[in-house]
Amino acid sequence: MSYDSDRLPTADCQLPKEAMSPAYDPANIFAKILKGELPSHKLYEDDETFAFMDIMPRGDGHCLVIPKQAARNILDVEPASLAAVMATTQKLARAVMKAFSADGVTVQQFNEQAGGQVVFHLHVHVIPRFEGVSLKPHTGTMEDQAVLAANAEKIRAALG
């Protein structure tokens, strides 16, 4: 996996005031996934973005899209990196619709603790939806790895 550590700010990096956001923490879980220090069910990768399965899905096929460039959330991300994330999000949204014969797709993105963010590396949730089926609550329970692997395979196949 190509991961440009030169583009990651160090822990003492100060964000511009206008970002209104604390400094990026390069030790966050998703930075470790990008660096290959933690495993993930990879779905897609290009120069700017990476997509993988959410380990505690709120619905079958719940996946995440992240920038390779270090960004805490939408407040500090560079616009070009955000645009790349959204282009990949559209790819994944179309793929999960096809992979699960879904009726719709929910795209979510949270910023700072008060905004519902838990992992502080920008990410977009892509969740296939089905008529009459609610999202599962955040239980903190990890999905079975075999289920994640099977769903990842379906999405990769749909991506073509």
State the catalytic residues.
123
Q: Does 54 bind ligand 5GP (CB under 6 A)?
A: yes
Q: Does 28 bind ligand 5GP (CB under 6 A)?
A: no
Q: Which stretch binds ligand 5GP (CB under 6 A): 2-10, 43-51, 88-96, 110-118?
A: 110-118
Distance between CA atoms of residues 55 and 62, nearest Å:
9
Please pick, from the candidates 26, 28, 110, 136, the single residue that binds ligand 5GP as defined by CB under 6 A.
110
Q: Does 36 bind ligand 5GP (CB under 6 A)?
A: no
**Closest CB to ligand 5GP among residues 6, 143:** 143
Spell 23-38 as b/e; 16+ CB within 10 A means b.
bbebeeebbebbeeee
Rounded to the nearest whole angstrom, what is the least distance from the CB of residue 100 to ligand 5GP in the complex?
18
The set of residues, in sequence order, having a beta carbon less than 8 Å from that of 27 and lying 6+ positions away, is: 11
Rounded to the nearest whole angstrom, what is the least distance from the CB of residue 126 to ligand 5GP in the complex?
11
Q: Does 89 bind ligand 5GP (CB under 6 A)?
A: no
Distance between CA atoms of residues 132 and 129, nearest Å:
9
Q: Does 117 bind ligand 5GP (CB under 6 A)?
A: yes
Q: In what side-by-side order are the strands of the sheet with 42-45?
A: 42-45, 49-53, 63-67, 124-129, 104-108
* Position 32, amino acid: K
Tokens for 48?
A: 């700017």
Q: Does 111 bind ligand 5GP (CB under 6 A)?
A: no
Q: Does 119 bind ligand 5GP (CB under 6 A)?
A: yes
Tokens for 78?
A: 């560079």
Binding site for ligand 5GP (CB under 6 A): 29, 40, 52-56, 110, 116-119, 123
